[in-house]
Amino acid sequence: MPEIADRLKNVTVSASVAMTQKARDLAAQGVDVVALSTGEPDFPTPEHAIEAAYAAARAGDTRYPPTDGTPALRKAIQLKFKRDNQLEYDVSQILTAGGAKQIIFNAIMATINPGDEVVIPTPSWISYADIVKFAGGVPVPLPCAQENGFKPLPADLDAAITDKTKWLLMNYPSNPTGSVASKAELLALGDVLLRHPQVWIMTDDIYEHLIYDDVRFYTLAQVEPRLYDRVLTVNGVSKAYSMTGWRLGFCGGPAPLIKAMSNVNTQNSGGVCTLTQAAAVAVLEGPQDLLQERARIYRERRDYVLERLTSIDGLRCHKPEGAFYLFVNIEGLIGKTSAGGRFISNDADFVLALIEEQHVVTVQGAAYGMSPYFRLSYATSMERLETGCDRIAAFCAGCR
């Protein structure tokens, strides 16, 4: 058979996608599965987004779009950055693509030469390292301990940066930990970055609006204007507006970087679906109060799951301030055997045994670069969370 390209040899299938598929397979066999593995909101897309897409289709807005985004959408994004982040971007500094994922892909493709290093505070979203490898770059994990709220210490960041470092990828609120960086923490990391002018910084702000208690969201380009020319601010409509299937991500950044990313975009896509762009204008310019209402519901779920899991022997939980994940330490269960006779030597064993014996689907910490942990998503109904917690408690109690 003809051969597949070498560049794909080190790229893996995302573990969360694999686990979600496992949940679907079990459900198809009639098993009552509690899927706590998916990274998407369980709320519907707002009605006014659907109406706007329908109206666009009816009005004949069905031809090739401008690849970088329609003027109306780029204007709406410009206003969003100003309104939510006090960030000024010219429309020419704004780009759209098929999800924040494609924005990140285009940025890495536009900048990475073989051997270039990308520093990734870890645990981190699965795709960052794979995208970097795809481009021939070297992902450099920067371990962030639970004791430090899963956030990098400035001295550790300084030590991780070399002459070959091209990017630092930041993601707060974080997938998978839910950690949020404070203004002071961003400024301290910014101080380090000012000393390394060869480094671009990407802030993946996709969970910006999923934030709890009195915590405030800040993004690096906003708090450290001296880094404005080196920061790519990434966001999208997937998580905030429950629009994961519509596929729209966007960014603001320095004009030369945006131009290079636009060149990548023109060769790997013809631009985002016109109906999606119309829907995105509607949510970005429309009423924003649904964001707070949904954040309140997520916070209730977080509080519930956190309380339940904290009371289970063998689990150690960090309190997330944002996103909809819990990243749970299972050190206390390593070396034990489950009620069903499965030896737990690592977090992948734990996650598989939990699926097999209690039909609860989560994702092993190893997939995010830190063990022994598992990631649980609470973007599901309270009723499913109760069942899920009952089953996790029963599973852990059965481990000897």
Q: Between residues 165 and 171, which has the closer beta carbon with respect to ligand PMP?
A: 171
Prior bond of 287 cis (ω within 30°): no
- Binding residues for ligand PMP restricted to 216-235, rule: CB under 6 A: none
Helix axes 100-111, 126-134, angle to 10 degrees: 40
To the nearest whole angstrom, how small is the minimum distance from the Cβ of residue 247 to ligand PMP? 7
- Binding residues for ligand PMP restricted to 152-181, rule: CB under 6 A: 171, 175
Produce one character per residue of 154-183: b if its CB has 16 or more CB atoms within 10 Å, e if not: eebbeebbeeebbbbbbbbbbbbbbbbbbe
- Binding residues for ligand PMP restricted to 87-116, rule: CB under 6 A: 99-101
Q: Between residues 99 and 314, which has the closer beta carbon with respect to ligand PMP?
A: 99
Q: What is the DSSP secondary structure assignment for residue 322, as one 8-state letter?
A: B
Out of 238, 265, 276, 380, name the contact with ligand PMP by CB under 6 A.
238
Out of 68, 117, 204, 224, name the contact with ligand PMP by CB under 6 A.
204
244 sits near ligand PMP (criterion: CB under 6 A)? yes
- Computed on alpha carbons and rounded to an integer, the radius of gyration of the chain in Å comes to 21
Q: Between residues 97 and 161, which has the closer beta carbon with respect to ligand PMP?
A: 97
Q: Are 355 and 338 in contact (CB under 8 A)?
A: no
To the nearest whole angstrom, how small is the minimum distance from the Cβ of residue 325 to ligand PMP? 9
Out of 118, 161, 186, 206, name the contact with ligand PMP by CB under 6 A.
206
125 sits near ligand PMP (criterion: CB under 6 A)? yes
249 sits near ligand PMP (criterion: CB under 6 A)? yes
To the nearest whole angstrom, how small is the minimum distance from the Cβ of residue 14 to ligand PMP? 9
**Residue 73 exposed, middle or buried by CB count within 10 Å (0-12, 13-18, 19+):** buried
- Which is nearest to 237 in space by CA: 273, 202, 274, 281? 281
Site track 311-340 with ligand PMP (rule: CB under 6 A), x = hit: ------------------------------
To the nearest whole angstrom, how small is the minimum distance from the Cβ of residue 248 to ligand PMP? 7
To the nearest whole angstrom, how small is the minimum distance from the Cβ of residue 171 to ligand PMP? 5
Q: Between residues 16 and 222, which has the closer beta carbon with respect to ligand PMP?
A: 16
Report CA-CA distances (Å) from 202 to 121, 171, 228: 12, 8, 11
To the nearest whole angstrom, how small is the minimum distance from the Cβ of residue 249 to ligand PMP? 4
Phi-psi region of 86 (alpha: psi -120 to 50; beta: other; left: phi over 0): left
To the nearest whole angstrom, how small is the minimum distance from the Cβ of residue 400 to ligand PMP? 36
Q: How far apart are CA 277 and CA 249, in angstroms?
A: 10
Q: Are 385 and 322 in contact (CB under 8 A)?
A: no
Q: How far apart are CA 352 and CA 358, in angstroms?
A: 10
To the nearest whole angstrom, how small is the minimum distance from the Cβ of residue 1 to ligand PMP? 32
Out of 15, 20, 34, 39, name the contact with ligand PMP by CB under 6 A.
39
Task: List residues near ligand PMP by CB under 6 A.
Answer: 39, 99-101, 125, 171, 175, 204, 206, 236, 238, 244, 249
